[in-house]
């Protein structure tokens, strides 16, 4: 049960980061904060990187579930 809650919360976080990156890309939300295009690109890249990192971590955790580590017998 805890695993499902964790994955759901992390998935929502990834979607929120992706949505904020898309919002920053398509609108002028940061017009008053800083007019530098470099700052805007930095914020977009950070949002997309966060979403990608969370998605990669969830996929890695999902694929690791079925692996078994067999202990090596020493002679």
pLDDT digits (tens, 9 = 90+) for 7-18: 899 999 999 999
pLDDT of residue 34: 65
Q: Is 21 exposed, middle or buried (0-12, 13-18, 19+ CB in 10 A)?
A: buried
pLDDT of residue 33: 64
Please give the share of the chain, as a percent, with pLDDT higher than 70.
87
Band of the pLDDT at 35, cuts 50, 70, 90? low
Domain locations in the chain as residue ranges: 6-55
- SS3 at position 67: coil
pLDDT digits (tens, 9 = 90+) for 57-69: 999 888 876 667 7
Which is nearest to 10 in space by CA: 44, 45, 61?
61
């Amino acid at each position: 049960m805890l695993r499902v809650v964790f994955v759901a919360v992390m998935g929502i976080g990834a979607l929120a980061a992706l949505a904020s990156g898309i919002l920053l890309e398509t609108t002028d939300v940061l017009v008053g904060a800083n007019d530098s295009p470099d700052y805007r690109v930095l914020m977009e890249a950070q949002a997309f990187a966060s979403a990608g990192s969370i998605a990669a971590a969830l996929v890695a955790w999902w694929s690791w579930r079925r692996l078994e580590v067999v202990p090596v017998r020493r002679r």
